[in-house]
Amino acid sequence: MSKIVSSLRELRLKFVDVTDEQFDTILSSCISLECLHLLESSRLVNVKHSVPHMKLNYLEIYNCSDLENIEIFAQNLVSFKYRGPRIYIFVKDAKQLVNVVCTCLNFRVDEYPAKNTLGLPYIQGKHFVFGQFGDYLSQLEYLMMDVGSFEGIQGSNKVPLLCNLKHLTLSCLNASRGPFGMLRCYHLVASFAKASPFLHRLKLRVSILSRLRITASDAYLYPTLAYMIWFLQFSLYSTENPELRRIPISSHKYLKEVLVSGFSGNKLSTDFVMSIFDYVIELEKIEITSVYLGDVANSLVKQGKADVVRKSIGLLHQRLPAKAQLYFLDDQFFIKSGSYVDTCLSRAF
């Protein structure tokens, strides 16, 4: 049995209540483990493994609701994916890390402790991804995050240089303002366009408020939550026309592909796409769908009214740069079967 455990290369645990001690035992015993997936485990609190794991190159931790801390020492880690509450993440000496996914779409902004359980100080600051993965930003090739992970970014000089970034995915709400709104997303696109000179593909995933899964108990426990819910509901599908172009975006020579999912066809989302046309001078392909391609559990849900969406698509065709092709994916989603849907879903991750 021990021989089988030591030779195990991939392990996927879903709805298995792994404890902190069991997590450490898994990595200590499975010395050949390359891929570890932990999904929906409710007992994990402090994920920690301070002994170097030489083979682990893929770690995925999704929707572990009580998790507070992740500390991992994996020198050959290539891909790290996390979805859940905003927590402290400490990845040590991951010199091969190129793929980071961090989606923390919630309102639980708790105070961080001064040090992690290894006794090392955390990088203080409001920018979640930049703080947690600051040592690896220059080597990242793929980055996925929600716009709420970055507080206070208002200009194009706030994002450090990401000289190897080729694929960027941003998730936001179809609301004009707020920490998860499209104006925040626009600020981030402007910042990343300047900081990522070799960015090749941009994905924008626009969700609606109901996907946040906020409960009444959450609002009771977190006093600011009720206000945030009201604010976002008030601004959702807002008819106001905020000026998207008040921040100039530098022309980008390498960005050639854009995917926009959750497109509602309202003026805000249409203007957002048009703003992309203004600075992506070598755009070859833009794919648009009113289907939300985000959390797999909530994917394949249409968000916009068909007539409004199609009218907006017509306007975008009129503004499309000469070299670019626009593909409206909705008909293919709902006419073709299985294989096409699976292909489109794979683009979301």
User: Which stretch of DSSP H or E encloses residue 2?
Assistant: helix 2-7
Per-residue pLDDT, 166: 97
- Summarised one tens digit per residue, pLDDT across range 114-160 is 444 444 444 444 466 777 788 888 899 999 988 877 765 554 456 78
- Summarised one tens digit per residue, pLDDT across range 68-95 is 899 999 999 999 999 888 788 889 889 9
Per-residue pLDDT, 174: 81
- Summarised one tens digit per residue, pLDDT across range 88-119 is 888 988 999 999 998 875 544 444 444 444 44
- Tell me the DSSP string of 108-157: --PPPPSB-TTSPBPPPSS-HHHHHSGGGGGG-SEEEEEGGG--S--STT
Per-residue pLDDT, 243: 61
Per-residue pLDDT, 163: 92
In 177-297, beta strands by DSSP E: 201-207, 257-261, 285-289
Q: Smallest Cα–Cα separation from 202: which of 157, 133, 252?
A: 252
Residue 256 clears pLDDT 70, i.e. is over it: yes
User: Which stretch of DSSP H or E encloses residue 92?
Assistant: strand 88-92
- Residue-averaged pLDDT of the chain: 77
* Residues 273/326, Cβ–Cβ less than 8 Å: no
Angstrom distance (rounded) from CA 63 to CA 177? 26
Angstrom distance (rounded) from CA 286 to CA 303? 19
Per-residue pLDDT, 202: 96
**pTM summary value:** 0.81
**DSSP 3-state helix, strand, coil percentages of the chain (rounded to 5)?**
35, 25, 45
Residue 214 clears pLDDT 70, i.e. is over it: no
Which amino acid is it at 216?
A
More confident residue, 207 or 4: 207
Per-residue pLDDT, 311: 92
225 pLDDT band (50/70/90 cuts)? Answer: very low
CA 155 to chain CA mean position, Å? 20
Residue 290 clears pLDDT 70, i.e. is over it: yes
More confident residue, 142 or 278: 142
What the block records as the tokens of 2 is 């021990």
* Residues 88/70, Cβ–Cβ less than 8 Å: yes
Residue 210 clears pLDDT 90, i.e. is over it: no
Residue 62 clears pLDDT 50, i.e. is over it: yes
